[in-house]
Structure 1
Amino acid sequence: MTFNDLKSQVSTIITNQGLNRDEKLLGICKLLETNIAHYNWVGFYFKNGDKNELKLGPYVGAPTDHDIIPFGKGICGQVAVSNKNFVVPDVSAQDNYIACSITVKAEIVIPIFVNGENIGQIDIDSNTPDPFTTEDERFLEFVCAEVSTLL
């Protein structure tokens, strides 16, 4: 399935009036993890109220102990501070990486903005070394823009 095919399915999930916000987010996670071979863990983190930390939202993949991530810590925490996409081709080369699983080789994190504020992110782990392309980034930016309409 192409990214364009997936874009229309993401939009369909977002506009489904029969689902609540978390059901829509979980549906997107399932859609991406099922249809993109190098997406092995797909989840959302959101700013935890007024605290300088992220709280885990809906996800699919192996269970994680990282329900809360302080701003600045790990790839997700760095994106919360930088407000920029972060593509990590090799997690073992990152000093500030929080290991979730020994099988993870690469990670991509894209921020979600609402009214110019970074309120969360999509986080994707891959068991494949260096799998993420510019097309992945653009597609995930689209996903985050769609998700921002729910928040």
Structure 2
Amino acid sequence: MKFERLHPKIIAIRSNNTKSREEKLLAICQILQDSIDYYNWVGLYFANHEKQTLHLGPYVGEPTDHTIIPFGKGICGQVAVSNQNFVVPDVAAQDNYIACSFTVKSEIVVPIFVNGINIGQIDIDSHVLNPFTENDERFLEFVTKQISTLF
């Protein structure tokens, strides 16, 4: 399975002592986009709990205007509140969706926890309808656990 082959690569990036945290986070985003053909935009948002906002961190893919997202708004904002994975098979069917590009057809967002607190999330957009499976969720949970060790 493609996901299992990526586990050691993600661990190697996380464990690299010559790169900064930002460089490691960007490298993780890059390897995900490069390795999984339907991961067309991969980014990280980090929470500011005081202001109840998410702030865009490292990402790969098309530029986005959505650099700050209020908690509760869009898929990412909903995950900041629910603390649950959110898989959107068809973004056109979502009422509370923030459109990034007409090419985005689906999205998956998985929270990142540090000491039980949702500090952010990984957000992946796809140009394909309904590509995300439970395997994607389990893999991205592994990725977010690796990311959490950087904080």
AA at the equivalent of 1:95: D
CA distance in 2, matches of 1:115, 1:49: 15
TM-score by length of 2: 0.98
CA RMSD of the aligned region, Å?
Answer: 0.8
Q: Which runs of 4+ in 1 moved over 4 A?
A: none
User: Structure 2 matches for 1:61-76, cutoff 5 A?
Assistant: 61-76=61-76
Q: Which residue of 2 aligns with 1:24?
A: 24
1:150 corresponds to 2:150: yes
Q: Which residue of 2 aligns with 1:93?
A: 93
**1:50 Cα deviation from its structure 2 partner:** 2.0
**1:5 Cα deviation from its structure 2 partner:** 1.0
Q: Which residue of 2 aligns with 1:52?
A: 52
Count of equivalent residues: 151
AA at the equivalent of 1:96: N
Which segments of 5 or more consecutive residues in structure 1 lack a partner in the other structure?
A: none
AA at the equivalent of 1:116: G
Q: Which residue of 1 aligns with 2:38?
A: 38
My pick for the range that moved more, 133-142 or 45-54, is 45-54
CA distance in 1, matches of 2:68, 2:109: 16
**1:59 Cα deviation from its structure 2 partner:** 0.1
Q: Which residue of 1 aligns with 2:4?
A: 4
Q: Which residue of 2 aligns with 1:84?
A: 84
Give deviations 1:47-98, integer Å, cap 9, x for gaps. Answer: 1262100000000000000000000000000000000000000000000000
Which segments of 5 or more consecutive residues in structure 2 lack a partner in the other structure?
A: none
TM-score by length of 1: 0.98
